[in-house]
Chains A and B, each alone.
Chain A
Amino acid sequence: MGEQLDPFSASNLPDFISSQKIGRPVNFEGQTNRGHPFSGLKKRGQSSRSWVKIDQDGNSAVLELDKATIMKRCSLPSRDLRLLDPLFIYPSSILGRERAIVVSLEKIRCIITAEEVILMNARDASVVQYQSELCKRLQSNHNLNVKDDLPFEFKALELVLELSCLSLDAQVNELEMEVYPVLDELATNISTLNLEHVRRLKGRLLTLTQKVQKVCDEIEHLMDDDDDMAEMYLTEKKERAEAHASEELEDNIGEDFESSGIVSKSAPVSPVGSTSGNFGKLQRAFSSIVGSHKSLLSSSSIGENIDQLEMLLEAYFVVVDNTLSKLSSLKEYIDDTEDLINIKLGNVQNQLIQFQLLLTAATFVAAIFAAVTAVFGMNLQDSVFQNPTTFQYVLLITGIGCGFLYFGFVLYFKHKKVFPL
């Protein structure tokens, strides 16, 4: 089955009918209403958004689901769905819930369950790439009979991590290729244009560093907590839940009751769907495992189980950490360039002051000459003024004296080693 992408347009529908609804997301109306289970709710102004469902065989379908349906389908609180809302700017996060993993990394926002991936549909290239790549991988695994030991949810999670790491790495490489020429140009020509260019690039570097740091911290936070990692083993939890179907039914009835409180009370209670094909595995399950969810959770904390997810997360943690190191190196390179430019500016400043010193010395010598000529310009009668040859004597003696004085200054500067630099 090929993938189907329906064009859709964004429109704002005012939500006046349901007063119990939480939040007012922007509604995306698709041209196709396939798979909409609450057709009656549509007329009441319930918001629905376009999603892409990808199952284990690599088949994808576009769905129009509202918030309540997603919550019921994946057993998620509305707080987790708010993470996936495009209107809100949430940092990157990976959350493990009872039946689903909520992933929001870069542009990819999706809900991964043990059977399917529900991907928020968007026109972004990375979302389209994730969709086609995941379908391709699942179909190729199905065709080639190459059976990876990862369960379905980890295959989907691995692809999200891989594409996010590739996206961040590409952004870092792009920034690097811009920074190096600009810094070389700044070292050559210090102008306002080049300085402004570097300042803008440093701003982009800081923003990108924060994004990479957030992804790095999120993966590290997951790896540090074994319980968080154990929460993500959806397939195992589902298999164990089916082994205790009778107990699970009671809990699900309670969950349905809670979710009914959020949606209108007229919503029908959907029965718990059992997955076919897993009955053969139930015989191999240990019947000695008895107990509540806590017991199931604690038994799933075996080191062998955690190792699988830990290796997956560690591989991508190393990639993100490497990207963060490249950003640190880039920032250090910018700082180094700025330090050396400061030295260069200091050097030029010294040369300017040196030239000013020479001019000041010349001004001083010229002032001496002016003083002498001013003295003889006074209108005071004296016997000196009776002699016409005094004029030549005054000019000659003063000129030679000033010349020798200036030359003396220059020699003194050389002696003090302030000139030349």
Chain B
Amino acid sequence: MAQNGYLVPADPSAVVTVKKKTPQASWALIDATGQSEPLDVDKYEIMHRVQIHARDLRILDPNLSYPSTILGRERAIVLNLEHIKAIITSEEVLLRDPSDENVIPVVEELRRRLPVGNASHNGGQGDGKEIAGAQNDGDTGDEDESPFEFRALEVALEAICSFLAARTAELETAAYPALDELTSKISSRNLDRVRKLKSAMTRLTARVQKVRDELEQLLDDDDDMADLYLSRKLSSASSPISSIGEPNWYTTSPTIGSKISRASRASLATVHGDENDVEELEMLLEAYFMQIDSTLNRLTTLREYIDDTEDYINIQLDNHRNQLIQLELVLSSGTVCLSMYSLVAGIFGMNIPYTWNDGHGYMFKYVVGLTGTLCVVVFVIIMSYARYKGLVGS
């Protein structure tokens, strides 16, 4: 397999010892014609190629756990969305770890969709309408005139939204039977299953929430969205400020002059951008924002369903306990009455001489009958009082 680019020997002192990461990473380069080439270069080569900071490259490091983020830089869009870690310029896409099983479909989709249509560097007035029409018809053929970077961004967003929606569907499929089983039989095994599911749901909710917040933050800031228009920035920078030339990206301690020229270039970019162009990206982001928002709503619904089930189980357990205690109350009051009956009989059973022992055979019937009647009356009084207080029968 031919390797594009040359190997730059990494200085050992340049590598951060703490992280112990290898100096070379596996990248896939996909250009505007759909050609895909693997790259094995170190991070300085990547930094030089797309002119981003080492700090932005650290975001794409698989060993570090960075949350999902979309960053617009001078000449590149840095994407870190779940397993998709990419750098999108106006001409090519650099994708990290292309051999990962989750990333392979993204590579194929990029190769299929990037060559479609002409890479237009000028946003026209009708772009928004055509994009809306294209989304309604589901046809991304000749009518799609998005810039290159937005087509790549759309593929990444679509893959991420589908991925998270699939994870949510998997979680729902596992959660609802487990909750039904827990409702029918409360056992340690079922409780542990629900606990594991809640933990997985919490983690998935945090991931979906992060992607959603990132998209919302982009949508709320027009300047951030304007930063993502790489093609327009490139065409604007080439014509009016050609006399200044390309800024030295690695200038040490830049002077006031170069700063002011950058500021004026940013102002020119702002002047060139009309509302329609920001609207194009806004519609793209809003479509996927609503998709990820519905995924978050499903997770929230699942969360509430689990909480409701737990509350229901708690109420069920309490009701069950109350019934048990009620029956125990009835039996205990019966035991009290029988104990009183036994008390009376025990008194007459004492072997202490008494006048009724001789010649009073008829007293046996009186004692048995009277004591029995008295005990029944006491039992009825106790049960009536319990019913009056609402302890029984409610």
* A and B associate: yes
Contact with B along A150-182 (1 / 0, CB 8 A): 011000001000000010010000000000000
Contact with A along B352-394 (1 / 0, CB 8 A): 0010111111111101100000000000000000000000000
Q: Is the CB of A343 within 8 A of B310?
A: yes
Scan residues 163-184 of chain B and give those whose CB is less than 8 A from a CB of chain A: none
Q: Is the CB of A329 within 8 A of B206?
A: yes
Contact of A350 among B55, B320, B359 (CB under 8 A): B320
* A378–B369 alpha-carbon span in the complex (Å): 14
Q: For residue B58, which residues in chain A have a CB less than 8 angstroms away from its CB?
A: 315
Q: Is the CB of A350 within 8 A of B348?
A: no
* A303–B265 alpha-carbon span in the complex (Å): 12
Q: How far is the CB of A58 from chain B (nearest CB, A)?
A: 10
Scan residues 34-90 of chain B and give those whose CB is less than 8 A from a CB of chain A: 44, 53-56, 58-59, 65-67, 69
Q: Is the CB of A347 within 8 A of B206?
A: no
* A133–B43 alpha-carbon span in the complex (Å): 18
* A418–B327 alpha-carbon span in the complex (Å): 10
Q: A318-B66, A346-B318, A370-B338 are in contact. Are A382 and B256 (CB under 8 A)?
A: no
Q: Is the CB of A382 within 8 A of B364?
A: yes
Q: For residue A139, which residues in chain B have a CB less than 8 angstroms away from its CB?
A: 13
Q: A140-B14, A364-B334 are in contact. Are A343 and B186 (CB under 8 A)?
A: yes
Q: A374-B342, A378-B349, A379-B349 are in contact. Are A318 and B325 (CB under 8 A)?
A: no
Q: For residue A18, which residues in chain B have a CB less than 8 angstroms away from its CB?
A: none
Task: Tally A-B pairs: CB < 8 A.
Answer: 210
Q: Is the CB of A378 within 8 A of B54?
A: no
* A197–B232 alpha-carbon span in the complex (Å): 59
Q: For residue A169, which residues in chain B have a CB less than 8 angstroms away from its CB?
A: 65
Q: Is the CB of A286 within 8 A of B338?
A: no
Q: For residue B44, which residues in chain A have a CB less than 8 angstroms away from its CB?
A: 146
* A303–B267 alpha-carbon span in the complex (Å): 10
* A302–B338 alpha-carbon span in the complex (Å): 94
Size class of the contact patch on chain A? 35 or more
Quick one: closest A residue to B55, CB to CB?
A: A315
Contact of A322 among B65, B249, B341, B368 (CB under 8 A): B65
Scan residues 269-310 of chain A and give those whose CB is less than 8 A from a CB of chain B: 281, 284-286, 289, 302-305
Q: How far is the CB of A413 from chain B (nearest CB, A)?
A: 7
Contact with B along A359-389 (1 / 0, CB 8 A): 0110110011011001101111111100000
Q: For residue B298, which residues in chain A have a CB less than 8 angstroms away from its CB?
A: none
* A303–B269 alpha-carbon span in the complex (Å): 14
Q: Is the CB of B11 within 8 A of A377?
A: no
Q: Is the CB of B321 within 8 A of A353?
A: yes
* A149–B258 alpha-carbon span in the complex (Å): 12
Q: For residue A143, which residues in chain B have a CB less than 8 angstroms away from its CB?
A: 11, 13
25 residue pairs bridging A and B, Cβ less than 8 Å apart: A140-B13, A143-B13, A151-B252, A151-B253, A302-B260, A304-B259, A304-B263, A318-B66, A322-B65, A333-B198, A340-B310, A347-B317, A350-B321, A356-B324, A364-B332, A367-B338, A367-B339, A368-B338, A374-B341, A374-B346, A375-B341, A375-B345, A378-B364, A379-B357, A382-B361
Contact with B along A15-51 (1 / 0, CB 8 A): 0000000000000000000000000000000000000
Given contacts A332-B202, A379-B357, could you give 11 more A-B pairs where the C-beta distance is less than 8 Å? Answer: A188-B188, A284-B257, A285-B256, A329-B203, A349-B317, A353-B321, A353-B328, A377-B345, A378-B349, A416-B323, A421-B320
Q: A312-B55, A329-B202, A380-B363 are in contact. Are A144 and B11 (CB under 8 A)?
A: yes
Q: Is the CB of A315 within 8 A of B255?
A: no
Interface of A with B (CB < 8 Å)? Answer: 129, 133, 136, 139-140, 143-144, 146-149, 151-152, 158, 166, 169, 187-188, 235-236, 239, 281, 284-286, 289, 302-305, 311-312, 315, 318-319, 321-322, 325, 328-329, 332-333, 336-337, 339-340, 342-344, 346-347, 349-350, 353-354, 356-357, 360-361, 363-364, 367-368, 370-371, 374-375, 377-384, 409, 413, 416, 418, 421
Quick one: closest A residue to B265, CB to CB?
A: A304
Q: Is the CB of B256 within 8 A of A286?
A: yes
Residue B245 at the chain A interface, CB threshold 8 Å? no
Quick one: closest B residue to A376, CB to CB?
A: B345
Q: For residue A136, which residues in chain B have a CB less than 8 angstroms away from its CB?
A: 13
Q: Is the CB of A284 within 8 A of B255?
A: yes
Q: Is the CB of A364 within 8 A of B259?
A: no
Q: Is the CB of B250 within 8 A of A286?
A: no
Q: For residue B359, which residues in chain A have a CB less than 8 angstroms away from its CB?
A: 381
Q: Is the CB of B67 within 8 A of A325?
A: yes
Q: Is the CB of B349 within 8 A of A374?
A: yes
Q: Is the CB of B345 within 8 A of A360?
A: no
Minimum-distance CB pairs A-B, first 5? A374-B345, A378-B348, A367-B338, A377-B349, A382-B364
Residue B136 at the chain A interface, CB threshold 8 Å? no
Q: For residue A344, which residues in chain B have a CB less than 8 angstroms away from its CB?
A: 186, 188, 191
Quick one: closest B residue to A377, CB to CB?
A: B349
Q: For residue B155, which residues in chain A have a CB less than 8 angstroms away from its CB?
A: none
Q: Is the CB of A350 within 8 A of B324?
A: yes
* A339–B198 alpha-carbon span in the complex (Å): 11
* A148–B248 alpha-carbon span in the complex (Å): 11
Q: Is the CB of B350 within 8 A of A379?
A: yes
* A375–B346 alpha-carbon span in the complex (Å): 8
* A302–B265 alpha-carbon span in the complex (Å): 13
Q: Is the CB of A360 within 8 A of B332?
A: yes
Q: Is the CB of B252 within 8 A of A147?
A: yes
Q: For residue B324, which residues in chain A have a CB less than 8 angstroms away from its CB?
A: 350, 353-354, 356-357, 418
Q: Is the CB of A336 within 8 A of B323?
A: no
Residue B195 at the chain A interface, CB threshold 8 Å? yes
* A332–B53 alpha-carbon span in the complex (Å): 36
Q: For residue A318, which residues in chain B have a CB less than 8 angstroms away from its CB?
A: 66-67, 69
